[in-house]
Amino acid sequence: MEAGRQVHRPRTWAIALALAAIVSGCQSKGGVSEVLDPAAVTAPAGQNGAAGAGPVQATQSLGTGSTKVTMLLPLSAPGTAGENGRKMLDATKLAMTDIGNGLLALTVEDTKGDSALAGKLAVTAITTGSKVVIGPTELPAAQHIATLSGSKRPPVLALADNFAGGPGVYAVLLGEADSAAAGAAGLAAKGSKKFVLLVADGPNAGAMEKRVANGLSIYGAALAVTLRYSAGDGAKTVDEMGSLVDAPDAVIVASGNGSPSPVLAALKSKGIPGKTIPVVGTNRWLEHPMDPLFEGAFIATLDPSETGPIADRFRTTYNYPADVNVAYAYDMVALTAGIASAVGPDGFSKKVLENPNGFRGSTGLFRFRADGSSQRSMPFYRIEKGALKLVAKSTSGF
Protein backbone atom coordinates (compact mmCIF):
# COMPACT_ATOMS: atom_id res chain seq x y z
CA MET A 1 0.00 0.00 0.00
CA GLU A 2 2.83 2.37 0.88
CA ALA A 3 4.51 1.54 -2.44
CA GLY A 4 1.35 2.57 -4.26
CA ARG A 5 1.30 5.90 -2.46
CA GLN A 6 4.93 6.51 -3.34
CA VAL A 7 4.12 5.96 -7.03
CA HIS A 8 1.18 8.36 -7.12
CA ARG A 9 2.17 11.12 -4.70
CA PRO A 10 4.53 12.90 -7.17
CA ARG A 11 1.78 12.77 -9.76
CA THR A 12 -0.77 14.28 -7.38
CA TRP A 13 1.58 17.07 -6.37
CA ALA A 14 2.32 17.86 -10.03
CA ILE A 15 -1.40 18.24 -10.66
CA ALA A 16 -1.89 20.40 -7.60
CA LEU A 17 0.94 22.74 -8.46
CA ALA A 18 -0.10 23.12 -12.08
CA LEU A 19 -3.69 23.96 -11.20
CA ALA A 20 -2.66 26.24 -8.38
CA ALA A 21 -0.71 28.24 -10.95
CA ILE A 22 -3.85 28.58 -13.06
CA VAL A 23 -5.96 29.74 -10.13
CA SER A 24 -3.38 32.33 -9.13
CA GLY A 25 -3.26 33.69 -12.67
CA CYS A 26 0.17 32.31 -13.49
CA GLN A 27 0.94 30.24 -16.56
CA SER A 28 2.00 26.66 -16.31
CA LYS A 29 4.59 24.98 -18.50
CA GLY A 30 4.38 26.34 -22.03
CA GLY A 31 1.28 28.35 -21.12
CA VAL A 32 -0.75 25.12 -20.98
CA SER A 33 -1.70 23.07 -17.96
CA GLU A 34 -0.12 19.63 -18.17
CA VAL A 35 -2.43 18.27 -15.48
CA LEU A 36 -3.88 15.57 -17.70
CA ASP A 37 -0.66 14.20 -19.13
CA PRO A 38 -0.62 10.71 -17.63
CA ALA A 39 2.89 9.81 -18.84
CA ALA A 40 4.36 9.93 -15.35
CA VAL A 41 1.85 7.53 -13.88
CA THR A 42 2.96 3.94 -13.36
CA ALA A 43 0.58 1.34 -14.74
CA PRO A 44 -1.69 -0.09 -12.05
CA ALA A 45 -1.98 -3.80 -11.63
CA GLY A 46 -4.74 -6.26 -10.96
CA GLN A 47 -7.59 -4.74 -12.99
CA ASN A 48 -7.50 -6.90 -16.10
CA GLY A 49 -10.87 -7.23 -17.70
CA ALA A 50 -12.87 -6.28 -20.76
CA ALA A 51 -15.62 -3.82 -21.56
CA GLY A 52 -18.94 -5.30 -20.62
CA ALA A 53 -17.50 -8.21 -18.66
CA GLY A 54 -19.83 -9.27 -15.87
CA PRO A 55 -23.24 -7.85 -14.93
CA VAL A 56 -23.80 -4.11 -15.13
CA GLN A 57 -24.48 -2.42 -11.80
CA ALA A 58 -26.97 0.47 -11.90
CA THR A 59 -24.91 2.46 -9.39
CA GLN A 60 -21.21 2.13 -8.67
CA SER A 61 -19.14 4.02 -6.12
CA LEU A 62 -15.46 4.73 -6.67
CA GLY A 63 -12.94 6.54 -4.50
CA THR A 64 -12.78 7.71 -0.92
CA GLY A 65 -12.11 11.43 -1.41
CA SER A 66 -14.06 14.41 -0.14
CA THR A 67 -15.15 15.82 -3.52
CA LYS A 68 -18.51 14.40 -4.53
CA VAL A 69 -18.80 13.74 -8.27
CA THR A 70 -21.54 12.06 -10.30
CA MET A 71 -20.89 10.41 -13.66
CA LEU A 72 -23.75 9.44 -15.99
CA LEU A 73 -23.05 6.63 -18.47
CA PRO A 74 -25.29 4.38 -20.62
CA LEU A 75 -23.86 1.19 -19.12
CA SER A 76 -26.76 -1.15 -19.95
CA ALA A 77 -27.88 0.56 -23.16
CA PRO A 78 -28.10 -1.70 -26.20
CA GLY A 79 -25.66 -1.63 -29.08
CA THR A 80 -22.86 0.86 -29.57
CA ALA A 81 -24.10 3.26 -26.89
CA GLY A 82 -23.78 0.63 -24.18
CA GLU A 83 -20.43 -0.55 -25.47
CA ASN A 84 -19.07 2.99 -25.39
CA GLY A 85 -20.51 3.54 -21.92
CA ARG A 86 -18.74 0.48 -20.58
CA LYS A 87 -15.47 1.59 -22.20
CA MET A 88 -15.87 4.96 -20.50
CA LEU A 89 -16.41 3.18 -17.19
CA ASP A 90 -13.14 1.29 -17.61
CA ALA A 91 -11.40 4.57 -18.43
CA THR A 92 -12.93 6.10 -15.31
CA LYS A 93 -11.64 3.27 -13.16
CA LEU A 94 -8.15 3.70 -14.61
CA ALA A 95 -8.18 7.45 -13.96
CA MET A 96 -9.42 6.90 -10.43
CA THR A 97 -6.65 4.40 -9.77
CA ASP A 98 -4.09 6.77 -11.26
CA ILE A 99 -5.03 9.95 -9.40
CA GLY A 100 -8.64 10.11 -8.27
CA ASN A 101 -9.22 7.52 -5.56
CA GLY A 102 -8.01 9.64 -2.66
CA LEU A 103 -9.53 12.85 -4.00
CA LEU A 104 -12.98 12.02 -5.36
CA ALA A 105 -16.07 10.20 -4.15
CA LEU A 106 -17.36 9.34 -7.60
CA THR A 107 -20.77 7.77 -8.17
CA VAL A 108 -21.42 6.24 -11.59
CA GLU A 109 -25.11 6.04 -12.53
CA ASP A 110 -26.49 3.96 -15.39
CA THR A 111 -28.69 6.04 -17.72
CA LYS A 112 -29.56 2.94 -19.79
CA GLY A 113 -29.30 5.15 -22.88
CA ASP A 114 -32.62 6.75 -21.92
CA SER A 115 -32.56 10.54 -22.31
CA ALA A 116 -35.42 11.10 -19.86
CA LEU A 117 -33.71 9.00 -17.20
CA ALA A 118 -30.39 10.71 -17.91
CA GLY A 119 -31.98 14.12 -17.42
CA LYS A 120 -33.63 13.01 -14.17
CA LEU A 121 -30.37 11.59 -12.82
CA ALA A 122 -28.53 14.78 -13.78
CA VAL A 123 -31.03 16.98 -11.96
CA THR A 124 -30.75 14.75 -8.89
CA ALA A 125 -26.96 15.03 -8.97
CA ILE A 126 -27.09 18.80 -9.43
CA THR A 127 -29.43 19.28 -6.49
CA THR A 128 -27.91 16.83 -4.01
CA GLY A 129 -24.40 18.13 -3.53
CA SER A 130 -22.32 16.90 -6.46
CA LYS A 131 -19.51 19.34 -7.17
CA VAL A 132 -19.24 18.20 -10.79
CA VAL A 133 -21.39 16.09 -13.11
CA ILE A 134 -19.55 14.17 -15.85
CA GLY A 135 -21.96 13.17 -18.61
CA PRO A 136 -24.58 12.47 -19.79
CA THR A 137 -23.90 11.00 -23.23
CA GLU A 138 -27.49 11.46 -24.41
CA LEU A 139 -27.84 14.64 -26.50
CA PRO A 140 -31.44 15.56 -25.53
CA ALA A 141 -30.53 15.25 -21.85
CA ALA A 142 -27.48 17.48 -22.24
CA GLN A 143 -29.54 20.06 -24.12
CA HIS A 144 -32.17 19.99 -21.39
CA ILE A 145 -29.60 20.52 -18.64
CA ALA A 146 -28.26 23.54 -20.51
CA THR A 147 -31.68 25.21 -20.23
CA LEU A 148 -31.79 24.92 -16.44
CA SER A 149 -31.13 28.05 -14.43
CA GLY A 150 -29.41 28.48 -11.10
CA SER A 151 -26.32 30.42 -10.17
CA LYS A 152 -25.07 27.68 -7.83
CA ARG A 153 -25.47 24.83 -10.29
CA PRO A 154 -22.28 22.74 -10.42
CA PRO A 155 -20.46 22.47 -13.75
CA VAL A 156 -21.51 19.71 -16.10
CA LEU A 157 -18.93 18.08 -18.38
CA ALA A 158 -21.29 16.66 -21.00
CA LEU A 159 -20.19 13.63 -23.01
CA ALA A 160 -22.94 13.92 -25.64
CA ASP A 161 -22.00 13.81 -29.31
CA ASN A 162 -22.82 16.94 -31.36
CA PHE A 163 -23.67 18.95 -28.25
CA ALA A 164 -22.98 22.67 -28.73
CA GLY A 165 -22.62 23.46 -25.02
CA GLY A 166 -24.21 26.06 -22.79
CA PRO A 167 -23.14 28.30 -19.89
CA GLY A 168 -21.76 25.98 -17.24
CA VAL A 169 -22.59 22.88 -19.33
CA TYR A 170 -19.42 22.12 -21.25
CA ALA A 171 -19.25 20.15 -24.48
CA VAL A 172 -16.41 17.67 -24.08
CA LEU A 173 -16.55 15.86 -27.42
CA LEU A 174 -15.18 17.41 -30.59
CA GLY A 175 -17.86 19.56 -32.25
CA GLU A 176 -18.31 20.37 -35.92
CA ALA A 177 -17.66 24.09 -35.40
CA ASP A 178 -14.26 23.39 -33.88
CA SER A 179 -13.42 20.87 -36.61
CA ALA A 180 -14.38 23.39 -39.31
CA ALA A 181 -12.43 26.20 -37.66
CA ALA A 182 -9.32 24.06 -37.21
CA GLY A 183 -9.50 22.77 -40.79
CA ALA A 184 -9.83 26.28 -42.18
CA ALA A 185 -6.98 27.44 -39.95
CA GLY A 186 -4.81 24.65 -41.34
CA LEU A 187 -5.10 26.21 -44.81
CA ALA A 188 -4.98 29.81 -43.55
CA ALA A 189 -1.66 29.02 -41.91
CA LYS A 190 -0.34 28.13 -45.37
CA GLY A 191 -1.45 31.44 -46.85
CA SER A 192 -5.11 31.10 -47.84
CA LYS A 193 -6.96 34.34 -47.07
CA LYS A 194 -10.46 34.34 -48.56
CA PHE A 195 -12.89 31.59 -47.51
CA VAL A 196 -16.50 30.68 -48.24
CA LEU A 197 -18.55 28.82 -45.62
CA LEU A 198 -21.42 26.63 -46.79
CA VAL A 199 -23.28 25.56 -43.66
CA ALA A 200 -26.36 23.40 -43.21
CA ASP A 201 -29.17 25.61 -41.94
CA GLY A 202 -30.09 25.02 -38.32
CA PRO A 203 -29.80 26.37 -34.79
CA ASN A 204 -26.00 26.02 -34.74
CA ALA A 205 -25.30 27.76 -38.06
CA GLY A 206 -24.69 31.17 -36.50
CA ALA A 207 -22.30 29.79 -33.92
CA MET A 208 -20.53 27.89 -36.69
CA GLU A 209 -19.97 31.08 -38.67
CA LYS A 210 -18.66 32.97 -35.65
CA ARG A 211 -16.31 30.16 -34.61
CA VAL A 212 -14.81 29.77 -38.10
CA ALA A 213 -14.44 33.54 -38.56
CA ASN A 214 -12.64 33.83 -35.23
CA GLY A 215 -10.28 31.00 -36.12
CA LEU A 216 -9.41 32.55 -39.47
CA SER A 217 -8.78 35.97 -37.99
CA ILE A 218 -5.76 34.61 -36.13
CA TYR A 219 -4.04 34.19 -39.50
CA GLY A 220 -5.27 37.40 -41.10
CA ALA A 221 -7.83 35.45 -43.14
CA ALA A 222 -11.60 35.98 -43.31
CA LEU A 223 -14.93 34.66 -44.52
CA ALA A 224 -15.91 36.38 -47.75
CA VAL A 225 -19.44 35.05 -47.39
CA THR A 226 -21.43 32.50 -45.40
CA LEU A 227 -24.28 30.72 -47.18
CA ARG A 228 -26.80 28.53 -45.38
CA TYR A 229 -28.33 25.69 -47.31
CA SER A 230 -31.13 23.20 -46.74
CA ALA A 231 -31.57 19.67 -48.04
CA GLY A 232 -32.26 19.78 -51.73
CA ASP A 233 -30.99 23.28 -52.46
CA GLY A 234 -27.24 22.64 -52.44
CA ALA A 235 -26.89 23.27 -56.19
CA LYS A 236 -28.78 26.55 -55.92
CA THR A 237 -26.59 27.66 -53.02
CA VAL A 238 -23.40 26.83 -54.95
CA ASP A 239 -24.69 28.86 -57.92
CA GLU A 240 -25.33 31.75 -55.55
CA MET A 241 -21.81 31.44 -54.20
CA GLY A 242 -20.42 31.81 -57.71
CA SER A 243 -22.30 35.06 -58.20
CA LEU A 244 -21.14 36.52 -54.87
CA VAL A 245 -17.50 35.53 -54.62
CA ASP A 246 -14.85 35.58 -57.29
CA ALA A 247 -12.16 32.90 -56.85
CA PRO A 248 -12.16 32.12 -53.12
CA ASP A 249 -9.03 30.54 -51.68
CA ALA A 250 -11.05 27.70 -50.13
CA VAL A 251 -14.62 26.51 -49.52
CA ILE A 252 -15.68 25.08 -46.15
CA VAL A 253 -18.61 22.65 -46.13
CA ALA A 254 -20.22 22.09 -42.71
CA SER A 255 -22.95 19.55 -43.39
CA GLY A 256 -24.46 19.04 -39.93
CA ASN A 257 -26.61 15.93 -39.67
CA GLY A 258 -26.84 15.43 -43.44
CA SER A 259 -24.42 14.04 -45.99
CA PRO A 260 -22.16 16.60 -47.67
CA SER A 261 -22.36 14.71 -50.96
CA PRO A 262 -25.12 16.79 -52.66
CA VAL A 263 -23.21 20.02 -52.02
CA LEU A 264 -19.94 18.41 -53.07
CA ALA A 265 -21.53 17.24 -56.31
CA ALA A 266 -22.64 20.81 -57.04
CA LEU A 267 -19.15 22.11 -56.26
CA LYS A 268 -17.58 19.49 -58.49
CA SER A 269 -19.69 20.73 -61.40
CA LYS A 270 -17.93 24.08 -60.90
CA GLY A 271 -14.48 22.51 -60.81
CA ILE A 272 -14.14 22.64 -57.01
CA PRO A 273 -11.99 21.31 -55.49
CA GLY A 274 -9.35 22.11 -58.07
CA LYS A 275 -5.75 23.18 -58.33
CA THR A 276 -6.47 26.58 -56.80
CA ILE A 277 -9.62 26.11 -54.67
CA PRO A 278 -9.54 23.33 -52.04
CA VAL A 279 -12.47 22.15 -49.93
CA VAL A 280 -12.45 21.90 -46.12
CA GLY A 281 -14.73 19.32 -44.56
CA THR A 282 -15.55 18.49 -40.94
CA ASN A 283 -15.63 15.55 -38.57
CA ARG A 284 -19.34 15.13 -39.35
CA TRP A 285 -18.49 13.98 -42.87
CA LEU A 286 -16.91 10.90 -41.37
CA GLU A 287 -20.25 9.76 -39.96
CA HIS A 288 -21.14 8.81 -43.55
CA PRO A 289 -19.57 6.20 -45.86
CA MET A 290 -16.49 7.55 -47.61
CA ASP A 291 -17.72 8.99 -50.92
CA PRO A 292 -15.50 9.54 -54.00
CA LEU A 293 -16.75 13.12 -53.84
CA PHE A 294 -14.78 13.51 -50.59
CA GLU A 295 -11.52 13.04 -52.49
CA GLY A 296 -9.03 15.86 -52.00
CA ALA A 297 -10.87 17.54 -49.12
CA PHE A 298 -9.06 18.61 -45.97
CA ILE A 299 -10.43 17.67 -42.54
CA ALA A 300 -9.27 18.42 -39.01
CA THR A 301 -10.43 15.74 -36.62
CA LEU A 302 -9.24 13.59 -33.74
CA ASP A 303 -7.55 10.34 -34.59
CA PRO A 304 -10.00 7.76 -33.17
CA SER A 305 -7.16 5.36 -32.43
CA GLU A 306 -4.81 7.89 -30.84
CA THR A 307 -5.18 8.04 -27.07
CA GLY A 308 -1.75 9.33 -26.16
CA PRO A 309 0.20 7.97 -23.22
CA ILE A 310 -2.68 6.00 -21.69
CA ALA A 311 -3.02 3.63 -24.67
CA ASP A 312 -0.52 0.97 -23.61
CA ARG A 313 -1.55 1.01 -19.97
CA PHE A 314 -5.22 0.76 -20.84
CA ARG A 315 -4.66 -2.26 -23.07
CA THR A 316 -2.51 -3.91 -20.40
CA THR A 317 -5.15 -3.30 -17.75
CA TYR A 318 -8.30 -4.23 -19.68
CA ASN A 319 -7.12 -6.45 -22.54
CA TYR A 320 -8.61 -4.35 -25.33
CA PRO A 321 -7.47 -1.15 -27.05
CA ALA A 322 -8.45 2.31 -25.92
CA ASP A 323 -10.38 4.55 -28.30
CA VAL A 324 -11.34 8.21 -28.27
CA ASN A 325 -14.30 7.54 -25.94
CA VAL A 326 -11.88 6.07 -23.42
CA ALA A 327 -9.70 9.15 -23.75
CA TYR A 328 -12.58 11.58 -23.25
CA ALA A 329 -13.71 9.84 -20.05
CA TYR A 330 -10.19 9.49 -18.66
CA ASP A 331 -9.44 13.16 -19.28
CA MET A 332 -12.59 14.43 -17.56
CA VAL A 333 -12.03 12.33 -14.45
CA ALA A 334 -8.37 13.34 -14.37
CA LEU A 335 -9.27 17.01 -14.78
CA THR A 336 -11.80 16.78 -11.97
CA ALA A 337 -9.29 15.09 -9.68
CA GLY A 338 -6.68 17.68 -10.55
CA ILE A 339 -8.92 20.58 -9.60
CA ALA A 340 -9.96 18.85 -6.39
CA SER A 341 -6.30 18.34 -5.52
CA ALA A 342 -5.32 21.94 -6.26
CA VAL A 343 -8.16 23.95 -4.80
CA GLY A 344 -10.46 21.56 -2.99
CA PRO A 345 -14.11 20.52 -3.43
CA ASP A 346 -15.29 24.10 -3.94
CA GLY A 347 -12.70 25.00 -6.55
CA PHE A 348 -14.73 24.25 -9.68
CA SER A 349 -15.14 27.84 -10.76
CA LYS A 350 -15.52 29.28 -14.23
CA LYS A 351 -12.08 30.85 -13.86
CA VAL A 352 -10.48 27.43 -13.44
CA LEU A 353 -12.53 25.50 -15.99
CA GLU A 354 -12.38 28.25 -18.60
CA ASN A 355 -8.65 28.79 -18.27
CA PRO A 356 -7.70 30.26 -21.68
CA ASN A 357 -4.36 28.48 -21.69
CA GLY A 358 -6.16 25.16 -21.88
CA PHE A 359 -5.35 21.67 -20.69
CA ARG A 360 -3.31 18.91 -22.28
CA GLY A 361 -4.83 15.47 -22.00
CA SER A 362 -4.81 12.13 -23.76
CA THR A 363 -6.98 13.70 -26.49
CA GLY A 364 -4.48 16.53 -26.93
CA LEU A 365 -4.81 20.23 -26.13
CA PHE A 366 -8.29 21.52 -25.32
CA ARG A 367 -10.03 24.35 -23.52
CA PHE A 368 -13.56 25.27 -22.51
CA ARG A 369 -15.20 28.56 -23.44
CA ALA A 370 -17.76 30.67 -21.55
CA ASP A 371 -20.54 29.55 -23.94
CA GLY A 372 -19.88 25.91 -23.03
CA SER A 373 -18.20 24.96 -26.28
CA SER A 374 -14.77 23.38 -26.39
CA GLN A 375 -11.81 24.12 -28.60
CA ARG A 376 -9.30 21.45 -29.50
CA SER A 377 -6.02 20.99 -31.22
CA MET A 378 -6.17 17.99 -33.55
CA PRO A 379 -4.49 16.33 -36.55
CA PHE A 380 -5.03 17.80 -40.02
CA TYR A 381 -5.78 15.36 -42.84
CA ARG A 382 -6.38 15.23 -46.59
CA ILE A 383 -8.63 12.57 -48.05
CA GLU A 384 -6.72 10.52 -50.60
CA LYS A 385 -8.03 7.33 -52.20
CA GLY A 386 -10.81 7.10 -49.65
CA ALA A 387 -8.58 7.37 -46.59
CA LEU A 388 -7.32 10.09 -44.26
CA LYS A 389 -3.70 11.02 -44.99
CA LEU A 390 -1.94 13.07 -42.33
CA VAL A 391 -0.92 16.57 -43.43
CA ALA A 392 0.01 18.03 -40.03
CA LYS A 393 0.06 16.58 -36.54
CA SER A 394 -1.76 19.54 -35.04
CA THR A 395 -3.99 22.43 -36.03
CA SER A 396 -6.39 24.31 -33.76
CA GLY A 397 -7.86 27.58 -34.98
CA PHE A 398 -7.39 29.18 -31.55
48-68: pLDDT as tens digits: 444 554 567 778 999 999 999
- What are the boundaries of each domain within the chain? 59-174+304-376, 176-301
- This prediction has a pTM of 0.85
Question: Does 128 score more than 60 pLDDT?
Answer: yes
SS3 134: strand
Point out the least confidently predicted range of 55-59, 282-286, 386-390. 55-59
Q: 271-279 contacts: CB < 8 A, separation 24 or more?
A: 273/297, 276/247, 277/247, 277/248, 277/249, 277/250, 277/251, 278/187, 278/192, 278/250, 278/251, 279/250, 279/251, 279/252, 279/253
Question: Does 328 score more than 60 pLDDT?
Answer: yes
Q: How far apart, in whole angstroms, are the C-alpha atoms of residue 70 and residue 110? A: 11
Point out the least confidently predicted range of 48-52, 217-221, 260-264, 331-335. 48-52
Average pLDDT over residues 330-343: 94
One fold for 59-174+304-376 and 176-301: yes
Average pLDDT over residues 350-364: 90
Determine the CATH number of domain 59-174+304-376: 3.40.50.2300
- Closest by CA position to 212, among listed 197, 225, 202: 197
- In this predicted model, which residue has the larger pLDDT, 281 or 6? 281
pLDDT confidence bin for 46, thresholds 50/70/90: very low
Task: Characterise 45 by phi-psi region: left (phi > 0), alpha (psi -120 to 50), beta (else).
Answer: beta
Task: Characterise 383 by phi-psi region: left (phi > 0), alpha (psi -120 to 50), beta (else).
Answer: beta
Q: 209-212 contacts: CB < 8 A, separation 24 or more?
A: 211/177, 211/178, 211/180, 211/181, 211/373, 211/397, 212/177, 212/180, 212/181, 212/184, 212/252, 212/254, 212/397
Amino acid 95: pLDDT: 96
Q: Do the Cβ atoms of 96 and 157 come closer than 8 Å?
A: no
Point out the least confidently predicted range of 2-6, 111-115, 325-329, 339-343. 2-6
Q: 83, exposed or middle or buried, with CB in 10 Å at 0-12, 13-18, 19+?
A: middle
Q: How far apart, in whole angstroms, are the C-alpha atoms of residue 285 and residue 281? A: 7
DSSP 257: T
Question: Does 90 score more than 70 pLDDT?
Answer: yes
Element (H, E) at 109: strand 104-110
Q: How far apart, in whole angstroms, are the C-alpha atoms of residue 229 and residue 237? A: 6
Q: How far apart, in whole angstroms, are the C-alpha atoms of residue 340 and residue 16? A: 8
Average pLDDT over residues 348-354: 94
For domain 176-301, the question of CATH label 3.40.50.2300 is answered with: yes
